[in-house]
Amino acid sequence: TEDGSDGRQEIKVRRVSTRKRTRDSLRSLLTPARKRGSTSLRQCSDSIQTWVISTAMADVKAYCSDSEDLFGDYDSILGDSSLLAKLDSAEQNERQRDHHCAANSDPVNPPEANFTALHSSGDGLLKQAYDDDNLTDSILDDLRDESFKDLPATQCQFSEEASESAKRMKLLEGDKTSTPLRHSDRTGKDETERIIEDKAARQTASFPKARRSMTDQLKKTMLCNAAAPSSVSRTVSLKEAVVTEEISVAMQAMETVSAETPDLGPFFGLPTKVKDLFYKLRGIKNLYDWQETCLNLNCVQERRNLIYSLPTSGGKTLVAEILILRELLCRKKDCLFILPYISLVQEKVRGLASFGLELDFMVEEYAGSKGRFPPVKRRNRSSLYIATIEKAHSLINSLIETNRLDNLGLVVVDELHMLGDGSRGSVIEMTLAKVLYMSKTTQIIGMSATLGNIKDLQRFLRAENYTNDFRPVELREYVKLKDSIYEVDPKEEECFRFSRPLNFKYSSSMQKLDPDHIIALVTEVIPKHSCLVFCPTKKNCENVAGMICKYLKADFLQHKEAEKAILLRELKASGNGSMCPVLQKIVPYGVAYHHSGLTNEERKLVEAAYSDGVLCLLTCTSTLAAGINLPARRVILRSPYVATDFLKRSQYKQMVGRAGRAGIDSTGESILILQEKDKNMAKKLVSAPMETCYSNLMQDDGKGVLSLILSLIGLNITNSLEQVMDFLSGTLLSVQERQLCLEKSLWEIIQECVGLLKEKGLITVSSDGHGQILKVTKLGKATYKGSVDLTYSDILYNDLSKGLESLMLNSYLHLIYLVTPYDMISQCQPDWMIYFRQFNLLSAAEQRMAAAVGVPESFVARKAAGQTVRKNMDMMVARRLYLALVLFSLLRETNLWCVAEKFQLSRGFIQTLLSSSSAFCSCVLHFTEELEEFWPFKALLAELTRRLSYCVTAELIPLMEVAGVMESRAKQLYNAGYKTLAHVANADPSVLAKTIENLYKKQANQIVASAKVNIFLSLFCLMIWIFKESVAIQSPRYFLKCFEHKHLYD
């Protein structure tokens, strides 16, 4: 307070904005009381302001928490006794001052100090406050406006109602706290008259002690407001504004199991916009009858687990996508879509990115080296994680570790029958078992081929089963013996019924080259229709394709000649000017081969050309049947073998299931070419019941059980043998214990595995008097968090430790050697002359590094000369270094064709080596993050992972992060001026398609959509980092709004 020139005291009031609190904060933010001319009151006000600032900072920190509720209650003073104590102290000091003033004042003429001047800090405008009520109302009104000014427009409509309610409460409170001198005069009058009379009485009061102090009145007013009924609660009003009636109905319908519950929307519980998007983006106008039946099953409506089985190309994936969208949009939960191959993950990411942008959810890729653990938690939109089998397991582990598994509403598994597929099957089983054990609200949907023991899977997943034999296109199965075609009919005694002879004129030279009459079979359908020829080996694919083109007529060259010329240019550009000579000869005929020997860019170009009808014939291996959806009018199986193994029924069904294209062909045909010696085996193949699916946790001496137990202990899911047994009782291994555990019981297997883990130093076993306590060691934690194979965990630790002693940082070679996958070593036999030549090209420092890891120059020279070497030389280390030299050369040149020629390796093998190395590098990075002694590797391996993932020059790496953009396309974009993600995200797809050569409009749409998703992910990660690093941001809620979808690309 300061004395003005007219002798009156001037009071400066500092206003503090109220804030909405988080759910985990119990402290309150109060509107400050009016200051008076008292030192003690000023100190009280200062202490309140200090408390307000500290609480605001706590609010910012709480806001940075992942668990914040945006609709938490407003602060209340009911739970804060410290502030009330300060107000009481201030009031006592004020009363003493008033008593002292009253003793020295004239009782007849009240002092002018009863009327105070309130000066504005902005312009010094003088306002008179005739009583405490007017001043308090003014302050509260200002603060109310201040607290609501940052609210969304949909919530501001309640501010007036809240304001009026507060004023009514204030008037009623004033009625109770008015001077007792007028109380007897108000009897019999209505409420309005009493309020008016009371106000007039307060304005004419003569003595300062005749009215209550402003502090006391403010304290009681706030207490009454805090204890006010819910009808005037701001929290209720805000929640009613935000939680609209449609969402409320949706949530109720999803959580309430009732046959009378209305649908959430016209399209299987989804808005009409979703149906329109399926038609716009996929051309899907109506669903098949079986799809509608499946979506309307009681178990689906009640969110119980489901396994559904249909033939290949029956439309299983569309049902899963609708269920995913319903979970994302209606229940606002995250979803996980597990696919078996990286190529399928990338294809699905591209296909759903547009849905994410239109419907406001995130699509994240978890494949290879991509994926963040734990995933970023978003408060306003849900996420769809599309992951490979291994990445899905790591993702589930990270969600369990951060107590966020309940945020995962749905897990969809494609190719569920892969539970019986070796080590990858054991990873699927571990993933699903953890979800079942740790979350009671996560639904599991499995898509599977028809299995003979589907009931075992039902028991494991506690799921319902839906089976249908629907196919959109009729499939007719045939076999060819000699020069006759037989139709497959399992009801016949011989299984085969004669259909027709094969009429095609063969010359003697043709007969020698094509004894199986493949040319006759393919020319019946191409070029007007498409055809797939499955071959047993990669080399056979190329030979068959070349042989077919040798005898095709010249008319085939003219069919879509311009489009094939464009494809040839794109293939050449993808190889930086180099091109496979086989493809160069066969593509003009509309023919290509498809196997793992193709690079990623070549594979994508071939698949796109086949889908568009530019290519009419593909010779391929069995991997195409499982990995890519490329249907054909006719499917030919060159042989009933995959390499040297006879076909399994599941493999046969996958291959023949590609015959018939929905919406294009009326029928589909499959022809299995047989030799007389294979006839009986073929009968069993086409008539045998479907194979069964068994747990693989015990494969390779129980490696799966060992990995599972280690992760259970590390994630604190179990810490005793009894708890481990309880968990394993819910696995598929437990369901099939009688068939699989013949020699030992499950309990004995657990005890043995715990002993092995203890011997490896991965866990410790102690006793607390009640039983054994299991704990994971640092090495064990690093092993399961890095998803490192238990066979190699100790080897990796020793290699990293040895590497630290003489780590070479002036070259990538040492780091590349440390992240070269151990499981790739056996797949390569070095050419020692090439080895010696490349070794001599290394610098002196790099050669010293090679000698340090165990490969001196003298050893390589002796091997190149064909001389014997000492027996104690570790050949595994030498082979690993050879693979590291291949990767090192590839990073320096970034031209895969040149490196393949230099090392005399297939470009497909080098591509596989590169992708495996980038994935293993990511695993090693997570491994080192858990071990303090390996801290130098964290930053080094993070950059190396990025380099290995794309293997291009630095300026192209941001463009390579866009789904569907490979090296050649990235170069086109960069040269056209689209040099950053922002440039691509802001591009008009129509303009982009015209600017970039050979880019279709559909591809342009997918590229732009994917770039926008990546931009948002980058911005969101940046926002999270800012929140964590700087809690001094004054308005985090407003800052969060800046990152809303509609502001991303301005």
At 785-832, the pLDDT tens digits run 999 999 899 999 999 999 988 888 888 999 999 999 999 998 889 999
pLDDT at 210: 42
CA–CA dist 87, 48 (Å, integer): 9
Tokens of 591: 């023919």
Alpha-helix residue ranges (DSSP H) falling in 865-980: 875-893, 896-903, 907-929, 935-950, 957-960, 967-975
Classify the C-alpha dihedral 476-481-482-484 as positive or negative.
negative
Question: What is the CATH superfamily name and number for domain 953-1050?
Answer: 5' to 3' exonuclease, C-terminal subdomain (1.10.150.20)
Tokens of 298: 């009681």
For all residues of the chain together, what is the average pLDDT? 78
Classify the C-alpha dihedral 838-842-846-851 as positive or negative.
positive
CB atoms under 10 Å from CB of 851, counted, come to 13
CA–CA dist 738, 559 (Å, integer): 60
Higher pLDDT, 381 or 462: 462
pLDDT at 46: 53
> Mean per-residue pLDDT for 961-981?
80
Q: Does residue 306 have a pLDDT over 70?
A: yes
> Mean per-residue pLDDT for 72-99?
52
pLDDT at 408: 96
- Residue 26 banded pLDDT, cuts 50, 70, 90: very low
Q: Which of 136-140, 226-230, 706-710: highest mean pLDDT? A: 706-710
Kindly report the length of the chain: 1050
Q: What is the pLDDT of residues 984-1017, one digit of tens each?
A: 888 888 888 888 877 777 778 878 887 887 777 6
Per the CB < 8 A criterion, the answer to whether 347 and 328 are in contact is no
- Residue 225 banded pLDDT, cuts 50, 70, 90: low
pLDDT at 226: 56
Q: What is the pLDDT of residues 422-473, one digit of tens each?
A: 889 999 999 999 999 999 999 999 998 778 889 999 999 999 999 988 888 8
- Residue 85 banded pLDDT, cuts 50, 70, 90: low
Tokens of 13: 């009031």
- Residue 251 banded pLDDT, cuts 50, 70, 90: low
Q: Does residue 313 have a pLDDT over 60?
A: yes
Alpha-helix residue ranges (DSSP H) falling in 688-745: 699-714, 721-728, 732-735, 737-740
Percent of the chain predicted with pLDDT > 70: 71
Tokens of 778: 């640092």
Residues 6 or more apart from 983 whose CB is under 8 A from it? Answer: 977
Per the CB < 8 A criterion, the answer to whether 361 and 382 are in contact is yes
- Residue 835 banded pLDDT, cuts 50, 70, 90: very high
CA–CA dist 280, 274 (Å, integer): 10
Residues 6 or more apart from 860 whose CB is under 8 A from it? Answer: 832, 835, 836, 839, 878
pLDDT at 213: 60
Q: Does residue 271 have a pLDDT over 70?
A: yes
Question: Model's pTM, two decimal places?
Answer: 0.69
- Residue 228 banded pLDDT, cuts 50, 70, 90: low
Classify strands 334-338 and 641-642 as parallel, antiparallel or unpaired: unpaired
Q: Which CATH number fits domain 699-785: 3.40.50.720, 3.40.50.300, 3.40.50.261, 1.10.10.10?
A: 1.10.10.10
pLDDT at 290: 93
Instruction: Of 80-94, 410-424, 813-827, 948-962, give the lowest mean pLDDT range.
Output: 80-94
pLDDT at 129: 39
CA–CA dist 446, 451 (Å, integer): 13
Q: Does residue 885 have a pLDDT over 50?
A: yes
Q: What is the pLDDT of residues 739-764, one digit of tens each?
A: 888 888 999 999 999 999 999 999 99
pLDDT at 79: 42
Q: Which of 27-41, 319-333, 356-370: highest mean pLDDT? A: 319-333
Q: What is the pLDDT of residues 928-952, one digit of tens each?
A: 999 999 999 988 998 898 888 877 7
Instruction: Measure the CA angle with vertex 818, ends 813 and 820; round to 5°.
Output: 90
pLDDT at 654: 84
Classify strands 634-637 and 763-767 as parallel, antiparallel or unpaired: unpaired
> Mean per-residue pLDDT for 349-354?
90
Q: Does residue 624 have a pLDDT over 80?
A: no
- CA proximity to 911, closest of 962, 951, 944: 951
Percent of the chain predicted with pLDDT > 90: 39
Per the CB < 8 A criterion, the answer to whether 373 and 297 are in contact is no
Rg of the chain (C-alpha set): 37
Higher pLDDT, 239 or 353: 353
Residues 6 or more apart from 263 whose CB is under 8 A from it? Answer: 253, 269
Under CATH, which number does the domain 474-687 receive?
A: 3.40.50.300
Q: Is the peptide bond before 631 cis (omega within 30 degrees of 0)?
A: no
Residue 775 phi, psi (nearest 5): -135, 145
Instruction: Of 114-118, 534-538, 621-625, 1037-1041, give the lowest mean pLDDT range.
Output: 114-118
In order, the DSSP letters of 445-458 are EEEE---TTHHHHH
Taking every pair of Cα atoms in the chain, the longest distance, rounded to a whole number of angstroms, is 136
pLDDT at 74: 38
- Residue 868 banded pLDDT, cuts 50, 70, 90: confident
- Residue 96 banded pLDDT, cuts 50, 70, 90: low
- CA proximity to 821, closest of 951, 923, 697: 923
Per the CB < 8 A criterion, the answer to whether 65 and 23 are in contact is no
Q: Does residue 618 have a pLDDT over 90?
A: yes
Instruction: Of 169-173, 775-779, 997-1001, give the lowest mean pLDDT range.
Output: 169-173
- CATH architecture for residues 245-467: 3-Layer(aba) Sandwich (3.40)
**Dihedral of the alpha carbons of 711, 715, 721, 724, in degrees to the nearest 10:** -70
Please indicate whether the domains covering 245-467 and 474-687 agree at the CATH topology level.
Answer: yes
pLDDT at 951: 74
> Mean per-residue pLDDT for 525-540?
92
**HSE of 973, CA atoms in CB hemisphere, 13 A:** 31
CA–CA dist 559, 562 (Å, integer): 9
CA–CA dist 450, 465 (Å, integer): 11
Q: Does residue 66 have a pLDDT over 60?
A: no
- CA proximity to 198, closest of 224, 177, 212, 221: 177
> Mean per-residue pLDDT for 564-582?
89
Q: Does residue 954 have a pLDDT over 80?
A: no
Classify the C-alpha dihedral 844-846-852-858 as positive or negative.
negative
Tokens of 110: 């009240």
Helix axes 561-574, 967-975, angle to 10 degrees: 90
Higher pLDDT, 943 or 11: 943
Per the CB < 8 A criterion, the answer to whether 380 and 329 are in contact is no
Q: Does residue 230 have a pLDDT over 60?
A: no
Domain locations in the chain as residue ranges? 2-242, 245-467, 474-687, 699-785, 788-951, 953-1050
Which DSSP state fits 281? I
Q: What is the pLDDT of residues 500-509, one digit of tens each?
A: 998 888 888 8
Continuous segment of H or E residues that includes residue 336 = strand 334-338
Q: Does residue 55 have a pLDDT over 90?
A: no
Q: Does residue 328 have a pLDDT over 50?
A: yes
